[in-house]
Amino acid sequence: MSKQPAIIVPEGCTRVLLHACCAPCSSAIVEWLLAHQIEPVIYYFNPNIYPREEFEIRKNESKRHAESLGVTWIDEDYDHAGWRCAVTGLEHEPERGKRCEACFYHRLLATAQKAHELGIPYFATTLASSRWKNLEQINAAGEAAALKTNVRFWAQNWRKDGLQERRNALLKQYGFYNQLYCGCEFSMARNTGSTEGSAPTA
């Protein structure tokens, strides 16, 4: 009996809209997709990131990586106020709590809607590559977003098949800026006790 592969490509998937939280987390995934004849279109939608300067740094690294590979890269507007509305009342939730669930859904719904707009039948997210994130929350958010559109969510643990180790190697190879907190002001405060420091996120 043959062993089931760690990463399972959905039937008929040759193109995917990949929501990318950052260059380090997307690098190994994009490499894997290209090696398996799947065209990734990178969608950078992360209005949770705070402050704006941090958002721009991560955005530029993601764009630099995509351009180095000739991969289509889409930038979405930075609407932090809209994201704050999406997590209103959840500001004091712990990491991996209900605020994160709302954050994932907000970002993945936008990704699903963009995939539908572009006629791309599948979407996925690099959030599922982080050992600091709750994979069940991410998958639930992705499936809920898929129900709102005519696209399918590719639920996948992107740490499998050696991709976590490859991520670390590519981080050094490209000299990526490697952020040290998830992104929002609340995660920054929870991880350090203030909004001036940082803690590991991936």
CB 52 within 8 A of CB 78: yes
Is the model's pLDDT at 201 over the cut of 70? no
Dump pLDDT digits (tens) for 79-126. Answer: 999 999 999 999 999 999 999 999 999 999 999 999 999 999 999 999
Tell me, yes or no, whether 184 lies in a domain: yes
pLDDT reported for residue 131: 85
Roughly what angle, to the nearest 10 degrees, separates helices 135-147 and 98-118? Answer: 40
pLDDT reported for residue 104: 98
pLDDT band of residue 176 (cuts 50, 70, 90) is: very high
Tell me, yes or no, whether 106 lies in a domain: yes
pLDDT reported for residue 2: 58
pLDDT reported for residue 100: 97
More confidently predicted of 180 and 198: 180
Tell me, yes or no, whether 77 lies in a domain: yes
Is the model's pLDDT at 200 over the cut of 80? no
Is the model's pLDDT at 194 over the cut of 50? no
Q: Which pTM value belongs to this model?
A: 0.92
Q: Give the chain's mean pLDDT.
A: 92
Tell me, yes or no, whether 9 lies in a domain: no
Q: What CATH code is carried by the domain that includes residue 154? A: 3.40.50.620
Tell me, yes or no, whether 66 lies in a domain: yes
Which of 1-10, 18-27, 193-202 is predicted with the least confidence, judged by mean pLDDT? 193-202
Dump pLDDT digits (tens) for 53-70. Answer: 999 999 999 999 999 999
User: d(Cα 192, Cα 170) in Å, to the nearest integer?
Assistant: 27
User: d(Cα 44, Cα 58) in Å, to the nearest integer?
Assistant: 10
User: d(Cα 58, Cα 38) in Å, to the nearest integer?
Assistant: 24
Name the burial class of residue 161, with classes exposed (0-12), middle (13-18) and buried (19+) by CB atoms within 10 angstroms of its CB: middle
Dump pLDDT digits (tens) for 116-169. Answer: 999 999 999 999 998 889 999 999 999 999 999 989 999 999 999 999 999 999
User: d(Cα 70, Cα 64) in Å, to the nearest integer?
Assistant: 10
Across the range 18-25, mean pLDDT stands at 97
Tell me, yes or no, whether 143 lies in a domain: yes
Tell me, yes or no, whether 5 lies in a domain: no
* Structural domain span for residue 171: 15-192
DSSP type of residue 3: P
Name the domain count of the chain. Answer: 1
Tell me, yes or no, whether 10 lies in a domain: no
